[in-house]
Structure 1
């Protein structure tokens, strides 16, 4: 009987080790990327909340229908449990019927701004 032997070929130890090394490098890179993404999401949340504080401040000025004096004012606001400091600068424009409002929001005691918003108010005509 002439039995044919079929050669069984598998992976060599070297091939398995190379594949594991490539997999380890890929997993390490993915893990680092996820860590950076998680760290960035915290800052993104702070920036979003700071933007909301600036928008709320401008909306409050518009809703009052008051003509603000030029100058700088500051205060604090809390948004979703995060305490933030805002500073608004009211300045005149070439058209005396408009006022420019620049609002900057940062963490209290920090010079690193999280959000900046510029808007305009229009003086309402006397009836």
Structure 2
């Protein structure tokens, strides 16, 4: 069998490309971008968790304060200051109650501050006010 003179019928030799993957610079740039995206998203998630925790403390603290106001109204608390602690939602809450006169002679104002730390009402989580009749 004779070899044809026309080389169009011969199989073409395999040619390997010189660029078969990513360069080191491309990989490093991709890792840098990935790191920046992950860092930013972790800060966002952390900030959201802090906000949720603060809102939860504020809500439960308000419930504690409103409960204490109701108790003061029912017990006809007299003017002065009282402190105490209560447990709600599996945590201990500290409250400070102040009962004082108002410009209206028939009303007393009840203010309750709530903190998650004992004797630290500078960083209170809630404050609520209510009133009661001053009649005995």
Is this a same-fold pair by TM over 0.5? yes
Match of 1:5 in 2: none
Q: How does 1:1-127 map to 2 (within 5 A)?
A: 13=23, 17-62=28-73, 64=74, 66-111=75-120, 112-123=123-134
Deviation at 1:102, TM superposition (A): 0.8
Aligned residues: 116
Q: Which has the larger Rg?
A: 2
Q: CA separation of 1:85/1:44 partners in 2, compared to 1, >3 Å: closer, same or farther?
A: same
When normalised by structure 1's length, the TM-score is 0.73
Deviation at 1:91, TM superposition (A): 0.4
Deviation at 1:41, TM superposition (A): 2.8
The CA distance in 2 between the partners of 1:12 and 1:107, in whole Å, is 55
Which moved further from structure 2: 97-106 or 67-76?
67-76
What is the RMSD of the two structures over their aligned residues, measured on CA atoms? 2.8
Q: CA separation of 1:29/1:107 partners in 2, compared to 1, >3 Å: closer, same or farther?
A: same
Q: Which runs of 5+ in 2 are unaligned?
A: 1-7, 9-20
Q: Which runs of 5+ in 1 are unaligned?
A: 2-10
- CA offsets per residue over residues 20-57 of structure 1, 9 Å max, x none? 42232112110122123223433332222111100111
Which moved further from structure 2: 114-123 or 77-86?
114-123
When normalised by structure 2's length, the TM-score is 0.69
The CA distance in 2 between the partners of 1:36 and 1:45, in whole Å, is 14
